[in-house]
Structure 1
Amino acid sequence: MAASPEASVLARMADLVRAMPADQGGALWRLPVQERQLDANVVRLAPGAEVAVHVEPDLDVLVFVVSGQGRLERGGGEEPEVLEAGCVVWLPRGARRGLAAGPHGLDYLTVHRRRPGMTIGRAGGAERERGGEPACLLDRVCPECGRLAPEGAEVRYCARCGTALPER
């Protein structure tokens, strides 16, 4: 029987936010623990960048805004909700959601249940091994400009700025 993991401090938010240039977006931190039930990420959306409105069919996601300002977009003509440091947002599975950074960017922590180890692949329904997935399509977010890559084909580079996307 494996030993139980120890409780520990994994990151210091102020250090993570300070270490990333303000005009650059992407993942600042990912939960590094292998044997876990949760996935967590700290993400920076560069000023003016956005994660397009989409639907996550499988997972509820909790978002904590660390710094900056932005908007929670729901699509369908609804007014966006203002986000600022300290906001806690629940994104229920099946709900339309998108995030847009303000003029100074948006840093946020996402937490959700870890996905199972095997998922259906994109092309031809082939399966692929996964050790959990980034929160809410994070592997499709350009680390440079924050644009969400389209679902479907195996896209490797951002259509807006040409930056390589995170490995899937």
Structure 2
Amino acid sequence: MNHQIFISIGSNIDRAVNTQAAKTALEKHFSDLVCSQVYESEAIGFKGAPFYNWVASATTSYAVTEVVSTLKRIESENGRTRGLKKFASRTLDLDLLLYDNKVANEPVELPRGEILYNAFVLQPLAEIAPDAIHPVCHKSFSRLWRDFDKTKQRLWPISFAWSNTK
């Protein structure tokens, strides 16, 4: 059975290379990849270089645990090191946002809480799935983005030239 997943992708170390590497890896592991625009945003929660952020949707037959372990493996393969600090610069950050309409706390929080409070997640999610409904709030992502307080977090689309990976 195929499941629809949404993944948040971010990088603030060697951003262009790692953004492309993430897309290539996601295409390798998942089907029907759809990508939002790439956005640039300021680091949130720490002083660091600006991030490139985007959201992708895909389909997979993997269980949630397999999706999460695949995302962690992609991060590691692209130089991600895990330290003691939650908020730090990183080569690649891949977070599972949604897995169908599943609501859970284990093995990860679904839907991921940051959908509702990080512009760099909500805006690209609303771009590629405007009519999809948040499984807890029961509002569309376009409505959540329209109602979001955009004065607190700066975010802007950039022109990103994807390499053809297929």
Higher alpha-carbon Rg: 1
Greater share of helix: 2
Calculate the TM-score normalised by the size of structure 1: 0.32
- Give the TM-score of the pair, scaled to structure 2: 0.32
